[in-house]
Structure 1
Amino acid sequence: MVRELQRDLDRAEGPIYAERHVRIICVGAGASGLCLAYKLQRSFQNFSLVIYEKNKEISGTWYENRYPGCACDVPSHNYTWSFEPKHNWSAVYAQSSEIYQYFNDFADKYSLRKYVHCNQAVIGARWDESNGGYHVQVKNGNTGELEEAFCDILINAGGILNAWRWPDIPGLKEFKGPLLHSADWDDTVDLKGKHVGLIGNGSSGIQILPAILPSVSHITTFVRSPAWISPVRGLDQHVFSAEEVASFANEPEKLLEYRKANEDGINSLWPLYVRGTDMQKAARKAMLKQMQLKLQGSGLEDKLIPSWSVGCRRLTPGINYLESLSHEKVTVVNGDITCITDKGPRDSDGNDHTIDVLVCATGFDTSFRPRFPIIGSSGTNLQDEWAQEAKGYMGIAAPNFPNYFLFLGPNCPIGNGPVLAAIEFQADYMLQFINRWQTENIHSFVPKVDATEDFIKYTDSVMQKTVWSEECRSWYKSNSSTGRVSALWPGSSLHYMEAIREARFDDYEIKYSGNRFAWMGNGSSQTELDATCDWSYYIRLKDDSPYASRRMQRQVLTKSGSTDGRSKTSFWKFE
């Protein structure tokens, strides 16, 4: 009570909305963490930000993933921040090294490295109710020492496709040859002339196989389940010519037009994920035709072409993957692996496969369960609460964990459309709370339990209409076939952007330190204390004030009427 009274007295000495210093800790210096740093630096002054990064360098998954053929499955010119284009991408689908460089250049351009502490891993966080913040434990990777820091607001930007894991196959460690994981690639292992075993046909596996095929003596690839594999995003791989790169550099409007056309196409795909739509039917017909054509004569059609709908699992271009399966140097083994011997995998028919090198392209822990203990206001650990199923609020927060946000949390639009744009909107959402915390005497904010439950009920009802809820094994459903769709947003990315553009503060339990009106200060306005501003700014020739209705606000924001209503799917036809 004494502390709260003192805070009221302090605020009473200043003008309305006096800013207090806000201390923020962010976990992870990948795309999300760097976006937060940029936006915070752009809009705020009285703050401190520390980003703890477990790796030796920044860029997150694009630093970690270095396997042969590693690339983004989104057109490169659209895998950028909305405000930060790059004119000299080498190809439509850029290699991971280029994307890694993009985020490094972004950090350098805006001087973001000063916030980042590399090779320091957060190993725990505990909410302190009396002080309204988190005590964060950090392990220094250079010294091994444990340190502790305090923050008012904790943000987890650790990512969803980041915590890689070995497959749960008996005897894996018995294998005598080199054992590689796609997300922890060892460049010192030479694959030239080797017989390589490849486990997995997800995004990583279908990139690795054609990339290593020219140099190895043979590949035995183990495929457990079918998958729709085709450049369905409508843009085949293409290496940009010197003339095209120069054009993008010298004609910014031309590059903007190209980016917007691609983005329009990506944002048109929501009907693809809804059962029974014309787009879903057309996509299935077109992709079936493409896969049958590419697999013709291989005898693999029945094993690799799914029965479930297009999009039930994440779509991946799979450049040259299907064609490579018919190569004389490739053997496809369909079904489960029962165990690994010292010589290689044993398949479900009891056949032993002798190989030189074993590559596991078996993905990540996509449970959304934090990789370190986070103890909330109820004394419970978020790791325990989300051990079986992650149930968060709007893909960005969790009940019982005050002053805590996470990027790309459960039920976020990670597979619904442009993900970097969604990250930007999430950062903007967080800044709304940071702004209120800084200019009001807020002690804590946390999503209400009933609001979170209502959000989950709504999400589950929408998911029943989508192809994601069909019976296919997917990380969208915690690597199950029939579980709850916990990874994706119940709508398009554009839908998500509109949903979180303005925070619903009534969905939060907000506690104040002292009198909730202490933010009003001593009766002075910020305006009259600034001698350089217009003290009669509201006197004008015409009404140019923001529109009050959501409809009009949206029309102005999205430039409604600026196009002729043409089709937005010119790049995304399924034929």
Structure 2
Amino acid sequence: MLNDGFPSAPSPPKSIHARLGFTNPIHHERHLRVVCIGAGASGLLIAYKLQRSFSDFELVCYEKNPDLGGTWYENRYPGCACDVPAHTYTWSFEPNPSWSSVYAGSEEIYEYFKRFSEKYDLGKYCKFGHEVTCATWNPTSSKWEIIISNGSETIHDSCDVLFNAAGLLNNWKLPDIDGLRDYKGKLLHTASWDQNVDLIEKHVGLIGNGSSGIQVLPAISSQASKITTFIRHPTWVSPAQAQEQHIYSEDERRVFESDPEALLSYRKALETGFSGLWPVFIADSDTQKTTFDGMTTMMRDKLRNEKLEELVIPSWGVGCKRITPGVGYLEALASDKVEVAWGDIAKINERGPVGFDGMEYPVDVLICATGFDVSYRPRFPIIGTSGQSLGDVWADVPEAYFGIAAHGFPNYFMIGGPNSPVGNGPVLVALEAQADYALKMIDRLQTENIRSFEPKLEAVRDFSEHRDRYMTGTVWDIDCGSWYRRNGKVVATWTGSTLHYLEAIEQPRFDDWDFKYAGNRFAYFGNGFSQTELDPEADWAFYLRNKDDSPYMSRNKRRIATTHTNSSTQITQTTVKVL
């Protein structure tokens, strides 16, 4: 029967099919429970994308801190900021026209993610002050059994899918130096900063010249009477993409707020420049050689001190370690107020560090800018099908599948796992791609007769073999003391650019996955009805049209259709003053 030109939605007939259990249409959605560890940037992204694309699900994000934000909630040390231009540190779909400067501070970044959460009501999924202490896969129920502590009690939970969005730069650590606890002055770590500490007219010791140390030094130089900075290795310091720090004027921010296309054009220009850095990471490329010479000159111009130039400027390739835009760092390092103590610290006594030459450095405050546990081993047991924890499996080298999953750990996803694009170009868009990949897998889990899935061991091994061969041609394979490497393997970065990664994981390679089914794999075909036939508002002839506007079937034509946009990637006259 036709009703206003369209057939009415039928009720499935009572038949032998119903008696045989075929009661639902094809792709009937089963209810899913999802647990996400962490409510930092990645955890909020998972919550947003699940909410946007799925309906029949439960989600809880367990966050150990009393508030969201992850690393941007925890890290509030002086000078803490983006190490990339802030307009490239937003979700692709959620620009922020109100960044105050090119390298925005941590509090601003926290506020961005706070607004993001409030805008999409993501807080309803979060349980703060709840720390996951163990997760165990139950093969009988095909669920994860989870133990959580909220400080006063132990809570048990279970889920169909487990996300680990705890973040890589999350588990901070003090340096392993003999006598550290004997120090009687004020001891600080950048990721556990005491907001009440007073540095005015104090002699401050600073251990480390990684990203946080490079940000701290110029930020405290106006307060301390003297700073002794302890450096073991040289490091490349330069504004990323040659972007110097710049405070956006009210007029510039007004343009960004009132003209979305101007802001988009500016964002695209920054992002394009960021992606354009990729050839730097090819060890013998002309771009690497040119960048090496240019950055050497740039650092010399700012240091203007031959002794410091010999110590601080590396001889290894640019990008072997993450390039840090040290706003004001080199100038501070070369100032009269700063003393550079080169080499390893032998021990620390009650007054301060002692070098291997016996030189003592008494300080009032000792700041450890010594980073995080970057082994990729989870800080709590995650126990898979073998009965081993992921931390034990990855005791030597973390072997993951595309930075997303691990063999032996079904229905388990990581955001920013091993061999993700952490130094290859834009980062957040890569995390978005990881979330999208995971949700494509979850869509199958929910609408097909699947109990569990995990990457096949041979797929993980093949990827690792490809990774090891490919990395020999990159600057990351150089032994420069980078956390990108572990036991001789490059385990942190992807085997190509960020744009390469987006293409590589655009669609899941289902043949790389081991699926387990609940009975017959085709049981989800159901009662023979489509979802469309049971939707009273659906167009039953949706496939008829006046021209072929369907998606292209080849990757290349899909890529061209997606990337050949009309939006300009050039900085407009309106925004050019920003640079």
Does TM-score exceed 0.5, indicating one fold?
A: yes
Match of 1:282 among 278, 290, 314: 290
Q: Which residue of 1 aligns with 2:541?
A: 536
Say which SS state the counterpart of residue 12 (structure 1) adopts.
coil
1:89 is matched by which residue type in structure 2? W
Where do 1:379-390 residues align within 5 Å? 379-390=387-398
The match for 2:514 is 509
Q: Spell out, residue by residue over 1:156-209, the C-alpha distance to the aligned partner (whole angstroms, 9 max, x if none).
A: 001011110000100000000110000110112111111000000000001000
Q: Structure 1: how far apart are the matches of 2:451 and 2:524?
A: 12
The answer (yes or no) to whether the contact 2:384–2:410 under 8 Å persists in 1 is: yes
Matched, 1:495 2:500: yes
CA offset digits 1:387-439 (Å, max 9, x no partner): 12111110000001111111111111011111110111011001001100110
* 1:185 corresponds to: 193
1:443 is paired with a residue whose SS is strand
Candidates 22, 31, 47, aligned match of 2:41: 31
Aligned twin of 1:519: 524
CA distance in 2: counterparts of 1:159 and 1:11, whole angstroms: 44
> Is 1:250 matched with 2:250?
no
CA contact (8 A) 1:298 1:326 kept: no
Comparing 165-174 with 551-560, greater Cα deviation is found at: 551-560
What letter corresponds to residue 64 of structure 1 in structure 2? Answer: E
Conserved 8 A contact 2:352-2:366: yes
For 2:533 and 2:514, the matched residues in 1 are separated by 33
Deviations 1:238-265 (A, max 9, x none): 0000000101111111000000000001
SS in 2 for 1:147: strand
The partner residue of 1:557 within 538, 562, 572 is 562
Q: 1:150 to 1:10 in 2, by over 3 A?
A: farther
SS where residue 362 of structure 1 aligns?
coil
Q: Which residue of 1 aligns with 2:463?
A: 455
CA shift for structure 1 position 41:
0.1
Structure 2: which amino acid aligns with 1:274? I
SS of 1:391's equivalent in the other structure is coil
**Conserved 8 A contact 2:131-2:149:** yes
- 2-structure distance, mates of 1:520, 1:192: 71
| 4+ runs deviating over 6 angstroms | 8-11, 563-567
> Helix, strand or coil: the match of 1:411?
coil
1:176 corresponds to which of 159, 167, 184 = 184
Amino acid at match of 1:430: A
Q: Secondary structure at the match of 1:303?
A: helix
State the match for 2:332 in structure 1: 324
**Partners in 2 of 1:344 and 1:477 — Cα distance?**
31
- Offset at residue 119 of structure 1 (A): 0.5
- Asked if 1:13 is matched to 2:23, the reply is yes
Between stretches 287-296 and 166-175, larger displacement belongs to: 287-296
Aligned residues with identical type, % of pairs: 54
Cα pair distance change 1:511/1:171, threshold 3 Å? same
- C-alpha deviation, 1:377, in angstroms: 0.9
Question: Which position in structure 2 is the counterpart of 1:397?
Answer: 405
- Count of matched residue pairs: 555
* CA distance, structure 2, for counterparts of residue 413 and residue 151 of structure 1: 28
64, 77, 91: which is aligned to 1:67? 77
**Is the CA contact (8 Å cut-off) linking 2:378 and 2:390 kept in structure 1?**
yes
Q: CA deviation at 1:348?
A: 2.1
Tell me if the contact between 1:11 and 1:18 (Cα under 8 Å) persists in the aligned partners.
no
1:413 aligned residue (396, 421, 428): 421
Does the 8 Å contact 2:66/2:129 carry over to 1? yes
TM-fit CA distance, 1:554: 1.1
Tell me, what secondary structure is at the counterpart of 1:299?
helix
The answer to whether the 8 A contact 1:71-1:94 is kept is yes
Q: Does 1:336 align with 2:310?
A: no
Per-residue deviation at 1:363? 0.4
What's the C-alpha RMSD, in Å, of the aligned pairs?
Answer: 1.6
Question: What letter corresponds to residue 487 of structure 1 in structure 2?
Answer: A
User: Aligned residue for 1:126?
Assistant: 136
1:216 aligns with 2:221: no
Question: In the alignment, which residue of structure 2 is the partner of 1:376?
Answer: 384
> CA–CA distance in 2 between the matches of 1:463 and 1:343?
44
Find the counterpart in structure 1 of residue 66 from structure 2. Answer: 56
Asked if 1:204 is matched to 2:212, the reply is: yes
Matched, 1:426 2:434: yes
CA distance in 2, matches of 1:548, 1:496: 20
Aligned equivalents of 1:221, 1:565: Cα separation in 2 = 42
Aligned mates of 1:296, 1:348 — CA distance in 2 = 28
Report deviation, 1:230. 1.2
Give yes or no for the alignment of 1:227 onto 2:273. no
List alignment gaps of at least 5 residues for structure 2. 1-17
Q: Which runs of 5+ in 1 are unaligned?
A: 1-7
User: Following the alignment from structure 2 to structure 1, what is the Cα–Cα distance between the partners of residues 569 and 332?
Assistant: 41
Go from structure 1 to structure 2 and tell me whether the alpha carbon gap of 1:505 and 1:150 turns closer, same or farther (over 3 Å shift): same
Instruction: Name the structure 2 match of 1:3.
Output: none
Does the C-alpha gap of structure 1 residues 220 and 111 become closer, same or farther in structure 2, counting only changes over 3 Å?
same
Q: Secondary structure at the match of 1:300?
A: helix
2:323 is aligned, of 315, 327, 348, to 315
Alignment partner, residue 87 of structure 1: 97
Q: What is the Cα deviation at residue 349 of structure 1? A: 1.5
Matched residues in 2 for 1:53 and 1:135: separation? 17
Cα distance in 1 for partners of 2:333, 2:138 equals 56
Preserved CA contact (<8 Å) 1:11 1:518: no
Q: CA deviation at 1:487?
A: 0.6
Take 2:554 and 2:260, find their aligned partners in 1: how far apart are those partners?
34
SS, match of residue 528 in structure 1: helix
Structure-2 separation of matches of 1:542 and 1:105? 42
Is the contact made by 1:124 and 1:373 (CA closer than 8 Å) also made in structure 2?
yes
Work out whether residues 232 and 287 of structure 1, in 8 Å CA contact, stay in contact via their aligned partners in 2.
Answer: no
Change (3 A) 1:85 1:270: same
- How much does 1:298 deviate? 5.5
Q: Secondary structure at the match of 2:62?
A: strand
SS at match of 1:510: strand
Partner Cα separation in structure 2 for residue 542 and residue 448 of structure 1: 42
Cα displacement (A) at 1:232: 3.6
